Amino acid sequence: MILTLPPSAGPADYLAACTSLGSPPGGRLLLVGEDPAIRRALREHGFALGAAAADVIVGLPGCDRADIRRALTANPRSDVVHAAVREPFVGVVALHKSGTNLVAALMRALGYTVSGEGTGPSPYPGGLWEKNEADYLPTLGPGSAYLVHSLPMPTVGGPLQYPRPLFSLWCENDFPVIYHYRDPRAVILSLIRYLLKQNVSGGFTGLPFHTMYARVLRSLPTGERRLTHAIDNLDSYLTWSFRDNAWLLDHPDVLTTSYETLVGARGGGGDHERDLAVAQLMVTLGISGDPADMAQRAYDPLARTFSQGRAYGWVDEFSEEHLLRFRRRHSDILERYGYPERGR
């Protein structure tokens, strides 16, 4: 359970919160941050402070939420009490075919209104989000999450000299950004199935790339040939997705998530890993609630682009030759994102 207190919370508030989470006097607390009055009050009521295996992680007023997340990683089954204000706006970079619907559903479960790439057509003529992003972003009110498939770092004199509007907004304002990705081999396979209309909606958006590459895929006689062609010819697609956004992995204010972690047991992952990832997200955004409950509401096999939704389903489709081809061309992506050469 994640319990958020107002920034003005004092000793009595923390005592009540720790007790409400089922940690009686004598319970084990791990305190993050410094507040002598709250620390003294908890100790006087019999709580064991600084416990290695904590029942509750207590984020004291003014502490860094990143420190709470680190404590939660070391104590993944602990409840959390901390003082925070709910973040009014969230930027989400969810790589194409990496589970945009999963992330969008999770953000909705957390109480945000979600829009952007992968959530439906833009309300502007042409239906392209990036084209009208500068006009659209100022219309978003508190409680909004805006999704993009790519947020490259602009470079002076390079091909990406001008940032997209979300990047400029982030530079001017302090809001959390989530970076969500998936094993690139699963992305390739998901893209193939999507363009062959093997999903719930039975179709795909009519972008030029989708339309033309779907024709190429349909012209190939077997699934093995299609996968080989995609591995050999989608360098620019994988660069646009993974390489151009890898800088986000190093940004100290970006929270990273992956499809393999968020999908849970129903999608071939693990529920404990999923719940921890959602708890980290809730701490970052200042949201109270049960991470397991939030996560269970996010996995939606009826989503428009849903095909199979298995975290490691690609392993059964990749032959030894496919694995070798992918390593030869894209080993840098596997290494950068921490994916093993053979999957799990």
Q: Report the CATH number at residue 308.
A: 3.40.50.300
Please check whether residues 113 and 176 belong to one and the same domain: yes
Count: domains in the chain = 2
CA distances in angstroms from 205 to 146, 202, 215, 304, 341, listed in the order given: 19, 11, 14, 11, 32
Domain boundary among 38, 63, 83: 83
Q: Is residue 48 part of a domain?
A: yes
In this model, does residue 127 exceed pLDDT 50? Answer: yes
Q: Is residue 141 part of a domain?
A: yes
In this model, does residue 39 exceed pLDDT 50? Answer: yes
Q: Is residue 214 part of a domain?
A: yes
Could you tell me which residue, 245 or 304, shows the higher pLDDT?
A: 245
What range does the domain containing 151 cover?
Answer: 89-337
- In tens, the pLDDT along 178-196 reads 999 999 999 999 889 888 8
Q: Is residue 343 part of a domain?
A: no
The percent of residues above 70 in pLDDT, for the chain, comes to 89
Average of per-residue pLDDT across 262-290: 91
Spatial distance between the Cα atoms of 75 and 279, rounded to a whole number of angstroms:
12
Residue 25: per-residue pLDDT? 53
By mean pLDDT, which of 90-94, 140-144, 148-152, 155-159 is the weakest? 155-159
- In tens, the pLDDT along 214-223 reads 888 889 989 8
Average of per-residue pLDDT across 251-258: 94
Average of per-residue pLDDT across 113-139: 85
Please check whether residues 261 and 167 belong to one and the same domain: yes
Please check whether residues 214 and 230 belong to one and the same domain: yes
Q: Is residue 342 part of a domain?
A: no
Q: Is residue 193 part of a domain?
A: yes
Residue 23: per-residue pLDDT? 55
Average of per-residue pLDDT across 23-44: 83
Please check whether residues 260 and 318 belong to one and the same domain: yes
Domain boundary among 83, 109, 141: 83
Residue 168: per-residue pLDDT? 92
What CATH number is given to the structural domain containing 56? 3.40.50
Indicate the pTM of the whole model.
Answer: 0.89
In this model, does residue 245 exceed pLDDT 90? Answer: yes
Please check whether residues 217 and 254 belong to one and the same domain: yes
Please check whether residues 53 and 103 belong to one and the same domain: no
CA distances in angstroms from 118 to 59, 95, 114, 232, listed in the order given: 35, 10, 10, 26
Q: Is residue 245 part of a domain?
A: yes
Local confidence band at 200 (pLDDT 50, 70, 90 cut-offs): very low
Q: Is residue 161 part of a domain?
A: yes
Q: Which range among 149-158, 166-175, 210-219 has the greatest average pLDDT?
A: 166-175
Q: Please report, to the nearest 10 degrees, the dihedral formed by the alpha carbons of residues 316, 333, 341, 256 taken in order.
A: -80
Average of per-residue pLDDT across 119-133: 79
Spatial distance between the Cα atoms of 230 and 240, rounded to a whole number of angstroms:
15
Residue 344: per-residue pLDDT? 65
